[in-house]
Amino acid sequence: MPASYLPPLDETTPELTTAKTRIEITTRKRRATSLRKPAVIQEALDFWAFAGGAANVVIQLGWPEVAYGVMESKVESGALTKHPWKRARTTGQFLTVAILGTDEEKAAFREAVNSAHRHVRSDEQSPVKYNAFNRELQMWVAACLFIGFEDTHQLLHGVMSPEEAETFYQSAKPLGTTLQVPDEMWPATRADFEHYWNIACQRIVIDDTTCDFLNDLVDLKMINPLIRLPFVNLLRFLTIGFLPAIYRDQLGLEWTEDDRRRFQHLFTFVSVVNKFLPKSIRFGGNRVLMRDLRRRIKHDKAMV
C-alpha cells in the first residue's frame, strides 16, 4: 500500500537551518545596484535566472510525492526524460506568464496545466500516494521556484537587505497563485516563508530510485550527447552549485569551499558582463515565450 499522504509538517522537530536548506551567498551589493529601487521578481527574469533550472527540478523532487509524480507520470508528451526541451519550454512559459502575464493569460495557462495534472495521480503500484492537484505539493513547487529566483538574483546583484528581500518576496506570490495555491496559503512575510521552507525541508527524502533519477538529471543525461558533452562539466558545476547541502548530502555529491568560491566568482564575472548587455538580450527569451504563448492562445493550440 502507498505510504500515508503528506503527513503534517512537524513543528515539534528542531527546525533545519538555512546552512542546510539554502546555498551560501556572500556576494556584496554592487554600488550600481544599491542605488536602484528595491528589486521585484520581474527584474529577476534575466536569462541567467535559468542557469539553475536543472537544480531547481532536483530541489522540487526532494519531496517523494513530487518525485514519483514526475517519474511515474502518464503524460508522455510532457515527460522530463523523453521530451526535455518541451518540458523546459512549458516551465519557462509558466514562469513568464505567472510573472508577466495578464489575468486572462494566467487563467488560460492554469486550465492547460490542470488538463495535464488530471492524469498525474498515484495508483496501487506507487510507493507513495500523490495527486498533482494537492495544494501542499503545489505550494512546495512554487516555493522551490521562488528560492531559485532569489538565489540567482542575489548571486548577480548581491545579498538583499531585509526590506528589499520582503519587497522581492511579495512580488513573487503569483508563482503559487497562478495555479492552485490560494493567497492565504502563501506565507504572509519573508520571515514566515523562511520558517515554512526550513520546516518543509524536513520532508526531503531521496530513496535509491529517486537518487538514480536525480543524478542522471544532474548529469543531464536526457539531453542529446552531441549537445551535452561540450558543456557537461560547466552544467554539472552550475547544477551542484545551486543545490543546498541537504540535497548534496543525500545525493552523495561533493562540493568544497573552493567550489563555492569559484561558483560565486563566476556569477560576479557574469554580473559585470550583464551590465554591458542590452535588456533585449537579457530578457529576450521571456518575451519570445510570451509571444509564443499568446500565439497558442489566439490559435487555440496546445500550451503544455
Q: SS in 3 state form for 98-164?
A: HHHCCHHHHHHHHHHHHHHHCCCECCCCCCECCECCCHHHHHHHHHHHHHHHHHHHHHHHCCCCHHH
- Confidence check: pLDDT of 4 > 50: no
**Is residue 136 included in any domain, yes or no?**
yes
- Confidence check: pLDDT of 55 > 90: yes
Q: Per-residue pLDDT tens for 58-100?
A: 999 999 999 999 999 876 655 666 667 677 888 889 999 999 9
**Is residue 139 included in any domain, yes or no?**
yes
User: What pLDDT is recorded for position 77?
Assistant: 58
Give the H or E element holding residue 239. helix 232-241
Q: Per-residue pLDDT tens for 155-201?
A: 999 999 999 999 999 999 999 999 889 999 999 999 999 999 999 99
Q: Which amino acid is at 290?
A: M
**Is residue 125 included in any domain, yes or no?**
yes
**Is residue 296 included in any domain, yes or no?**
no
Chain mean pLDDT for the chain: 87
**Is residue 274 included in any domain, yes or no?**
yes
Mean pLDDT of 220-226: 71
**Is residue 9 included in any domain, yes or no?**
no
Per-residue DSSP letter, 3: B
**Is residue 13 included in any domain, yes or no?**
no
Number of compact structural domains in the chain: 1
Report whether 122 contacts 68 (CB < 8 A). Answer: yes
User: What pLDDT is recorded for position 280?
Assistant: 85
Look at residues 185, 201, 89 and name the one whose alpha carbon lies nearest to residue 134.
185
Structural domain of 258: 18-284
**Is residue 195 included in any domain, yes or no?**
yes
The rounded Cα 167 to chain-centroid distance in angstroms is 19
Mean pLDDT of 288-295: 91
What span, in angstroms and rounded, lies between the C-alpha atoms of 36 and 19?
29
Enter the pTM of the model: 0.90
* pLDDT tier, 36 (very low <50, low <70, confident <90, very high otherwise): low
